Amino acid sequence: MMRLVTLLAALFSLLLALPALAQSPSATVESPDKALSVSVAIGPEARANYTVSRNGKPVIAPSLLGFQFTDGPQFARDLEITNVTRSSFDESWTQPWGEWRTIRNHYNEMRVRLREVNRLHRIIDVVFRVYDNGVGFRYEFPDQPNLKTANIAEELTQFSIAEPATAWWCPAFESNREEQLYNKTPIAEIGTAQTPLTLKTASGLYVAIHEAALVDYSGMNVAKVQGGLLKAVLTPSSSGPKVSRAAPFPTPWRVLLISPDAPGLYMANSLILNLNEPNKLGDVSWVKPMKYVGIWWGMHLDQQSWASGPKHGATTANVMKMIDFAAANGFKGVLVEGWNVGWDGDWFADGRTFSFTKPYPDYDIEKLTAYARSKGVVIIGHNETSANIAHYEDEMRGAFDLYQKLGITAVKTGYVADAGGVQWRAPDGSIRFEWHEGQVMARHHLPVVTEAAKRRIAIDAHEPIKDTGLRRTYPNWVSREGQRGMEYNAWGVPKNPPNWESELVFTRMLGGPFDFTPGVLSLKGRGDTDILSTIAKQLALYVVIYSPIQMAADLPENYAKYPAAFQFIKDVAVDWDDTRVLNGEIGEYVTIARKAKGSNDWFLGSVGDDTARSFDVSLDFLSSGEAYTAQIYRDGDDADYRTDKRHSIVIETRKVKKGDVLKIALAPGGGQAIRFKAGR
Amino acid sequence: MMRLVTLLAALFSLLLALPALAQSPSATVESPDKALSVSVAIGPEARANYTVSRNGKPVIAPSLLGFQFTDGPQFARDLEITNVTRSSFDESWTQPWGEWRTIRNHYNEMRVRLREVNRLHRIIDVVFRVYDNGVGFRYEFPDQPNLKTANIAEELTQFSIAEPATAWWCPAFESNREEQLYNKTPIAEIGTAQTPLTLKTASGLYVAIHEAALVDYSGMNVAKVQGGLLKAVLTPSSSGPKVSRAAPFPTPWRVLLISPDAPGLYMANSLILNLNEPNKLGDVSWVKPMKYVGIWWGMHLDQQSWASGPKHGATTANVMKMIDFAAANGFKGVLVEGWNVGWDGDWFADGRTFSFTKPYPDYDIEKLTAYARSKGVVIIGHNETSANIAHYEDEMRGAFDLYQKLGITAVKTGYVADAGGVQWRAPDGSIRFEWHEGQVMARHHLPVVTEAAKRRIAIDAHEPIKDTGLRRTYPNWVSREGQRGMEYNAWGVPKNPPNWESELVFTRMLGGPFDFTPGVLSLKGRGDTDILSTIAKQLALYVVIYSPIQMAADLPENYAKYPAAFQFIKDVAVDWDDTRVLNGEIGEYVTIARKAKGSNDWFLGSVGDDTARSFDVSLDFLSSGEAYTAQIYRDGDDADYRTDKRHSIVIETRKVKKGDVLKIALAPGGGQAIRFKAGR
């Protein structure tokens, strides 16, 4: 009952709001190239909505904005627009490391002040930044008497997709490590999805929904309401409000990457970096992109163990050999897992078993770090926390002090929380349990990164919070996991499918670097099981999957069996001046070319799916006037991931130059890697 | 990473669990007729799952059981079954009022004790009750050292639908009044749905998911994970845990109604009553099923107002006339809305404006209640709370005292929360905001009902928590709203569609009585807009939509225009000895026959959708040896809800007896109502 009164109240509000709208009749902002347009309006019940269109055609139909609070009425209706301001911005900035040396940050901004007509008169600003290839918007909570602290029950942001679309999505809240295969379904079959969530609309537009600068807020997931209507669902909290923040503060940016083709969608991901704050760490020349090897794959093969005992992997002898292998082959890092005590207890259920400073007796940490140093190699530390962040926050500073002293310049953190959840110590001293992507974890990761930065240590987080571009602000946060990497090819049921990486590029990789750990040239998992890849594809992954730290994951004895292919892994760069996506379709194939940092060399990686395909690639990206030798690692004509020809590879060289056209053929489950070496 | 260890841990758990399983090799229980079977097993990672099958064919594929907690690790894996007990139960019990005089409660029960293998060794029992037409199961938390209080972050119950299915579902969390049209989609297109959620599988099985006995717990919604996998999503709380309860306690019952046809699905809803506790109120003969009229529809038509002023509806003069109308036509109740002060303020945003004892000056409450009494009529009080339950809980006892003194024997409560949310006073004194179906509201409604019961007052809650059968335990909780009733035909955009009621019977009505307020014979909403119904259908609704209190919603002057049709409303019973669903398909048509309480008279209602249809109905339900006069109110041959023939009705009588076959024809948007009057 009473709906009549509702309608009357809404009508009344509308009447109040209209004069305000009339003061700003066109709450609209366009992208610099005028292709994208964003409008904000007050609709029925005086609710605020936004619309995104491209070349005049709706991409996001009117979609609501607002918040629910645990300690006050929702901010959702009876709103007026009291002020609209616009500005433009254009600058280019340089990445210390990355896919591009220079990134242009060029947008038009519109700031819309929303105010409640009645009673509390609360105010929230919505700020839109419209780029040529996407939109970022966020809420900003000003300091104000009736909203001193925002205790947010839910963010009411909607994404009403204007066209039918196919979606690539992973269910949210289905495991506490966010590592699952993508569903490819009509948009109406989305349940509740993690972001990035990628869509291809009926008219062929590519749209990804993600967020940027997830700082002191809860990670956003996207739930299907009905039909093509999606809405934000913040990650829950044990504390009631999903977010609790004192005003003034901004939310993370809600990001829409929009492109007429799949390659452009990947290229648009620099928008996420642009929406993050510039580097706050000052000189970060000590952050070194590198390739690394490690004591790791042997554990996943069950040939070695993290725990102590006869199979213990992290022994002084094993690591010395691995340092020698790294030095001999030009790898700058050696990851060692299972070096520290704690793996013998019930660590899986509670990371309190771990010491982050005390090595196992058969691991001579001082000797090894010194030996590594003598060989020009660094040890990459490993801190599995079992997501007991209460314990880790107690211990990490002391641990980082030790690592700095020893010259351990990078740490791989781990947050396995399958058994219980993220454990933290609440202000009242109680232990509480959370999701990986709630506000508690958003708050946890940054002190890890900044405490590490104080000691010139880089962080590579596994089972992490998702990547929202914070590497721009904290460039020592070099990489992370956050999806199914190579390890699933050791023991996963099922293993990563052949189209996995061509799907990742347009989904997970939109967020940022992925420590995928490619290069398993043996193509074997546990128990001699076959990995669903050709050997050439393993090489291509070093170009296709971006990370400034790239592992050569296989065992040294396996690399010894494939020296010719291994040469590419030794040669490939890890830091880039430029990146071009030459072609691609989501989950079918993708070809990426990257220019090595400070060099005229280019590298190309192309990966497909389970079918053979071939296409021409124009070498327009090469430097003009430069002669190149293309060192081509291609699938053999009989290569096939389903047969014993998965190791069939042809390695050949060709002289090429800018403008040449290269035919690329991919076997089923295949790939191709090319080094374009400049000079004669 | 570390998944290997996960798998090993799971394997280890399995090995530990297997001996326990071996002790109870067949954790299976069947329905009394052996058609339905439920099994519980320990699966991968030593997670517990249940399976439901019908005649050997899966209905629910293996679906997980478990909990997440805010203050401890999840109870989800590394579980063993330590004990299984079985029992049977068969009794018949009598309803004080209802669709059936007597209900048989016949089930086989299996109680499965789940225990964590490691560390905390927590225990949760799962209790299954398997009926011939459905399954109820709930968790029971025993008292135990490591789980003194369950602070539940989420219930991990899954419903993996074994077959493709069509779903009728309303999105959850999309408004705080749960009044929305149903989506009819493939199951994969469900987002997050309210319950009851109704499915029709590819093989033609009808399945509804709901719950029973929602007491001191959070209401369950059902989210689609992916494909046919659904999971429980409890209604959020402002407090962190969605549920906080000291052990020992049971959860509500998770209910699966299962039927090979749509009529059987509706008939199965008595299962929900069976899963509730017996009457706790003792003598409830003072709870009187009745038909009522009221000062109400005029407000929805915008001819009168709740607020004071020239249009004020609840004036002494208006109500006296309405009492006269009720008495003259045999209605036992007169609902009066807008009688109490508070409607002139900003009540919509905050129910603190309301007094529940102070009438408007132009409403002489003592005179009117006395006048009503003199006419054999009772006033039905109205308490709109705007969902400010802090205020209402402060006021309601005093209000009920007053009503008891005045002879107001029923109160319609209202919980409009559109503007802000449910407001309550937390233990720390702060005001907090909730959903209608969270634990706070589950805790609120019962004291309202029991405090009312102490004063022999019946409660009819609008914008309520959903109906889970608590009327069995508290028979003064006579009816509620919880979906789009007649009021949407006054001002709804859109109005209720022609197939609305044939959809409601198999969805919302599975939960329990609905104060739908039928009988608008004018077929007109606000501004002279047409209601999408024939006049005969308005009559049929009194049989089709069950409620022990049924309004004749239209204005007296409109009833004066249609005296012949009005006669059926005067004649129709509101309390029943028996109910039979004679035919039906969800959202297409349904025919229900009900036997008047303590009489040999039967009533029949049939409603369709927007197409004309006809079918034969066998009068097998009539008493044998009894002669009946069928007073038939059928659509005229030219009747059509889309034309000015929507009032076309034929009223005719026929002599009939048990076994006769009656042809029923429904016009587009039509219906048919029949009174079978026993005796010559």
B357-399 tens-digit pLDDT: 999 999 999 999 999 999 999 999 999 999 999 999 999 999 9
Q: Average pLDDT for residues A324-353, to the nearest whole number?
A: 94
Mean per-residue pLDDT for B589-607? 98
pLDDT interval class at B32 (50, 70, 90): very high
pLDDT in tens, B109-152: 999 999 999 889 999 999 999 999 999 999 999 999 999 999 99
Residue B437 sits at the chain A interface (C-beta within 8 Å): no
- In angstroms, rounded to a whole number, what is the distance separating the alpha carbons of residues B114 and B467? 30
Evaluate whether residue A11 is within a structural domain.
Answer: no
Per residue in A299-311, pLDDT (tens digit) is 999 999 999 999 9
Q: Which of A343, A374, A340 is nearest to A357 (CA)?
A: A340
Residue B572 pLDDT exceeds 90: yes
Reported as a pLDDT band with limits 50, 70 and 90, residue A351 is confident
For chain B, say whether A414 makes contact (Cβ under 8 Å). yes
Report the pLDDT averaged over residues B297-312: 98
Average pLDDT over residues A666-676: 98
Nearest-by-Cβ selection for B6 from A77, A346, A418: A418
Choose among B153, B192, B349: nearest Cβ to A223. B192
Cβ atoms A209, A197 nearer than 8 A: yes
Q: Do B4 and A302 touch (CB under 8 A)?
A: yes
Tallying the residues shown for chain A, one arrives at 680
Is residue B602 within 8 Å of residue B595, measured between CB atoms? yes
- Per the domain annotation, does B440 fall within a domain? yes
> Do B330 and B475 share a structural domain?
yes
Q: Please indicate, yes or no, whether residues B496 and B581 belong to a single structural domain of this protein.
A: yes
Q: What is the mean pLDDT of residues A587-605?
A: 98
Q: Is B17's pLDDT higher than 80? A: no
Domain edge (last residue) among B230, B260, B275: B275
Q: Measured between CB atoms, does A635 come within 8 Å of chain B? A: no
Q: How confident is the model over B318-332, as pLDDT tens digits? A: 999 999 999 999 999
Q: Is residue B129 part of a domain?
A: yes
- Taking contacts as CB-CB distances below 8 angstroms, the residues of chain B near A430 are 71
The domain in which residue B563 lies consists of: 487-679
Residue A86: its pLDDT value, please? 97
Among A173, A226, A430, beta carbon nearest to B71: A430
- A6–B433 C-beta distance less than 8 A: no
User: Within its chain, how far is the Cα of B542 from the centroid?
Assistant: 16
Nearest C-alpha of chain A: how many angstroms from B387? 11
Residue-level pLDDT at B24 = 37
Tell me, yes or no, whether B139 and B48 share the same domain: yes
* 3-class DSSP assignment, residue A199: strand
> Which residue does chain B place closest to A415, by CA atoms?
B1
**pLDDT attached to residue B2:** 41
CATH number at residue B675: 3.20.20.70
Contact residues on chain B for A337, CB-CB shorter than 8 A: 1
Residue A579's pLDDT is 98
| Distance (Å, whole) CA A414 – CA A389 | 11
**Does A584 lie in the same domain as A543?**
yes
The CA-based angle B74-B77-B80, given to 5 degrees, is: 120
What is the predicted pLDDT for the residue at A262? 98
Instruction: Tell me how close the Cα of B54 comes to any Cα of chain A, in angstroms.
Output: 27
Examine the pLDDT at A332 and tell me if it is beyond 50.
yes
- Quote the tokens at residue A24: 């700003």
Is A490 in CB contact (< 8 Å) with chain B? yes
Query: In this structure, is residue A54 part of a structural domain?
Result: yes
**Residue A629 pLDDT > 80:** yes
Determine, for residues B2 and A188 on separate chains, whether the beta-carbon distance falls below 8 Å.
no
A491 contact residues in B (CB cutoff 8 A): 3-4, 7
Q: Parallel, antiparallel, or unpaired for β A431-434 and A243-246?
A: unpaired
Q: Do residues B576 and B442 both lie within one domain?
A: no
Subunit contact B481:A302, Cβ cutoff 8 A:
no
B300 vs A: CB within 8 A: yes
Q: From CA A268, how far away is CA A286, in angstroms rounded?
A: 28
Mutate to test the interface with A, among B226, B411, B480, B487 (most CBs of A within 10 A): B226
A57 has a pLDDT exceeding 90: yes
In DSSP notation, A373-438 reads HHTT-EEEEEEE-TTBHHHHHHHHHHHHHHHHHHT--EEEEE---SSS-EEEE-TTS-EEEE-TTS
Assess whether B431 and B495 both reside in one domain: no
Residue B429 reports pLDDT greater than 80? yes
For the cut 80, the answer to whether the pLDDT of residue A18 exceeds it is no
**B345 and chain A: CB distance < 8 Å anywhere?**
no
Q: For chain B, positions 383-412, list CB contacts with chain A under 8 A.
A: 384
Q: Which residues in chain A have Cβ-Cβ distances shorter than 8 Å to B237?
A: 240
- Cα distance between residue A170 and residue A184, in whole Å: 9
Q: Is A7 on the interface with B (CB under 8 A)?
A: yes
Cβ separation B237–A241 shorter than 8 A: no
Percentage of residues in chain B having pLDDT higher than 70 = 96
**Which residues in chain B are contacts of A492 at CB distance < 8 A?**
3
Q: Is the pLDDT of residue B295 over 80?
A: yes
3-state class of B73 per DSSP?
coil
pLDDT at residue number A350: 83
Angle at B476 between CA B471 and CA B481, to 5 degrees: 65
Catalytic residue among B487, B501, B503, B588: B487
> Are B476 and B284 spatial neighbours (Cβ–Cβ below 8 Å)?
yes
* Interval B338-343 mean pLDDT: 97
Q: Which of A24-28, A167-171, A190-194, B609-613 has the lowest mean pLDDT?
A: A24-28
Predicted local distance difference test score (pLDDT) of residue B18: 40
Q: State residue B547's pLDDT score.
A: 98
What is the number of structural domains in chain A?
3
Q: Are residues A348 and B5, on separate chains, in Cβ contact within 8 Å?
A: yes
pLDDT of A112 higher than 80: yes
- Asked if the C-beta of A226 comes within 8 angstroms of chain B's C-beta atoms, the answer is yes
In this structure, are A257 and A327 located in the same domain?
Answer: no
- Whole-number Å distance between alpha carbons of A117 and A596: 56
Q: What are phi and psi of A21, to 5 degrees?
A: -60, -40
Q: Is it the case that residue B7 has pLDDT exceeding 80?
A: no
By the CB < 8 Å criterion, does B185 face chain A? yes
Tell me whether A22 touches chain B (CB under 8 Å).
Answer: no
Which has the closest alpha carbon to B440: B220, B212, B242, B149?
B242
| A187 pLDDT more than 90 | yes
| Beta-carbon contacts below 8 Å between A and B | 188
CA distance A56 to chain B (A): 29
Domain boundary at B227, B251, B275, which?
B275
Do residue B215 and residue B324 come from a single domain? no
Is the confidence at residue B237, as pLDDT, over 90?
Answer: yes
Q: Is the pLDDT of residue B426 over 80?
A: yes
CA distance B456 to chain A (A): 25
Q: Indicate if B395 belongs to the active site.
A: no
Interface test with B, best of A2, A386, A514 (most B CBs within 10 A): A2
A433/B488 CB distance under 8 A: no
Mapping DSSP onto H, E and C, the string for A328-384 reads HHCCCEEEECCCECCCCCCCCCCHHHCCCCCECCCCCHHHHHHHHHHCCCEEEEEEE
Q: Is A447 helix (H, G, I), strand (E, B) or coil?
A: helix
pLDDT digits (tens, 9 = 90+) for A94-105: 999 999 999 999
On whether residue A479 sits in a domain, the answer given is: yes
| A11: contact with B, CB 8 A cutoff | no
B416 vs B337: CA distance, rounded Å: 14
CB contacts of B3 in chain A (<8 Å) are 487-488, 491-492
Q: Is B164 on the interface with A (CB under 8 A)?
A: no
* Residues A392 and A517 placed together within one structural domain of the fold: no
Model confidence at A67: pLDDT above 90: yes
Chain A residues closer than 8 Å to B488 by CB: 3
Give the nearest chain B residue to A240 (CA atoms): B240
B-facing residues of A in 462-481 (CB < 8 A) are 462-463, 481
Contacts (Cβ under 8 Å, ≥6 apart) of B99: B270, B546, B576, B578, B579, B594
Given a cut of 90, whether residue B419 has pLDDT beyond it is: no
Question: Which of B2, B182, B416 to probe by mutation at the A interface, max A CB count within 10 Å?
Answer: B2
> Rounded mean pLDDT of A198-208?
98
Q: Write the residue in B5, B302, B433 that is nearest to A72 by C-beta.
A: B433
Using pLDDT thresholds of 50, 70 and 90, give the confidence band for residue B16. very low
The pLDDT value recorded for residue A348 is 84
Domain identity same for A153 and A299 = no
Please give, rounded to a whole number of angstroms, the shortest distance from the CA of B65 to a CA of chain A: 13
For B651-675, what is each residue's pLDDT tens digit? 999 999 999 999 999 999 999 999 9
% helix, strand, coil for chain B, step of 5: 20, 35, 45
Claim to verify: residue B399 and residue B378 sit in the same structural domain: yes
B189, B431, B526 ranked by CB distance to A71: nearest: B431
Establish if B188 touches chain A: CB-CB under 8 angstroms: yes
Of B584, B671, B613, the C-alpha closest to B198 is: B584
Is B500 part of any domain?
Answer: yes
Looking at the fold, whether B258 and B287 belong to one and the same domain comes out as no
Residue with tokens 């990986």: A436
Final residue of a structural domain among B483, B505, B524: B483
Which is nearest to A635 in space by CA: A614, A656, A619? A614
Say whether B420 and A3 touch across the interface (CB within 8 A): no
CATH of the domain at B256: 2.70.98.10
Give A-chain residues touching B350 at CB under 8 angstroms: 73, 119
In angstroms, the CA B441 to CA B459 distance is 15
In a domain, B392, yes or no: yes
Q: What pLDDT is recorded for position B420?
A: 76
Task: Give the Cα separation of B264 and A107 in Å (integer).
Answer: 61
Q: What mean pLDDT is reported for chain B?
A: 95
Chain B residue numbers touching A238 (CB-CB < 8 A): 70-71, 151, 153, 240-241
What end-to-end distance do the CA atoms of chain A give, in Å? 83
For residues A130-145, give the mean pLDDT. Answer: 98
In a domain, A630, yes or no: yes
pLDDT at A175: 82
